[in-house]
Amino acid sequence: MKNYQHFQEKINYNFKDTLLLRNVFVHRSYLNERKNFPLPSNERLEFLGDSVLSLVISLYLFKNYPCLCEGDYSRIKSLLVKAETLAEIALSFNVDKLLLLSKGEEKMNGRKNKNILADSLEALIGAVFLDSNFEESYRWVTNFLFKDKLEKIIKNQDYQSFKSRLQEKVQAKYKTLPEYQVLKEVGPEHQKVFRVGVFIKGKKYAEGSGRSKKEAEEEAAKNAFVNL
């Protein structure tokens, strides 16, 4: 229980129901080797936490950023709830050290698996919700768990597409717009890969590839944005 106490200090939340907390770390693989283990896997908590997190972030953005549009909300939320972001937060709390995994998952470095870590963080959010209420969960997620990341994304406008960000930069610097040209198409009709170049005043600044022209243009814009 000493490890759990230290963990609760790190996450700035003390559980009334410690069984809920323990359940957060039970990966389904662990139960394959321990049929009589008293707790289920964390999958149900993960399912609940995913929904709670989505609602909390949606409500926070709606209440605090009325100037943004629905598309901005969706892009910000997708940046916050993606596996890489959740796994990074989970590692900052040392969730990996408390995970209960099978021997097979241990061998495959499951403690650093971004999906396992992300799922565990969602399970933690679900557990906090069950242990308290929506209002307290909302405060915990927005004031502690995601506050810095939310503010950074919005301040840096990371939620904007690179095509939008490149266009703003090019307009300001060159008083013109970037142009995109398909340089190459390879593969059969149903599996085409497009290679696109982005040009500014006739000069090619970067290239990008993707399964669609839109995807290739976005990658080209990202590469050009970095180059500029």
% of the chain at pLDDT higher than 70: 97
SS3 14: coil
pLDDT at 145: 87
- Which is more confidently placed, 148 or 108? 108
- Of 205, 209, 203, whose CA–CA distance to 228 is shortest? 205
pTM of the complete model: 0.74
Task: Answer whether residue 218 shows pLDDT above 90.
Answer: no
Pick the CATH number of 2-155 from 1.10.150.120, 3.40.50.1360, 1.10.1520.10, 2.40.280.10: 1.10.1520.10
Q: One of 46, 50, 119, 217 is an active-site residue; which one?
A: 50
Annotation marks residue 43 as catalytic: no
Render 52-80 in DSSP notation, one character per residue.
HHHHHHHHHHHHH-TTS-HHHHHHHHHHH
- Of 109, 115, 108, 107, whose CA–CA distance to 90 is shortest? 115
Annotation marks residue 136 as catalytic: no
Q: How crowded is the C-beta side of 205, counted as CA atoms within 13 Å?
A: 22
**Tokens in use for 9?**
């200090």
| Phi and psi torsions of 153, nearest 5° | -60, -45
Task: Answer whether residue 156 shows pLDDT above 90.
Answer: no
SS3 27: coil
Calpha distance 205→197 (Å, rounded): 8
pLDDT at 195: 94
pLDDT at 217: 87
Pick the CATH number of 162-227 from 3.10.129.10, 3.30.160.20, 1.10.10.10, 3.30.70.360: 3.30.160.20
Query: Tell me: the pLDDT tens digits for 15-59?
Result: 999 999 999 999 999 998 988 899 999 999 999 999 999 999 999
Residue 24 · residue 120 · CB < 8 Å: yes
Task: Answer whether residue 2 shows pLDDT above 70.
Answer: no
Domain ranges across the chain? 2-155, 162-227
Q: One of 46, 96, 119, 122 is an active-site residue; which one?
A: 122
Q: Where are the alpha helices (DSSP H) in the chain?
A: 2-11, 18-23, 28-33, 43-64, 70-81, 83-92, 95-98, 103-107, 114-131, 134-140, 147-155, 162-174, 213-227
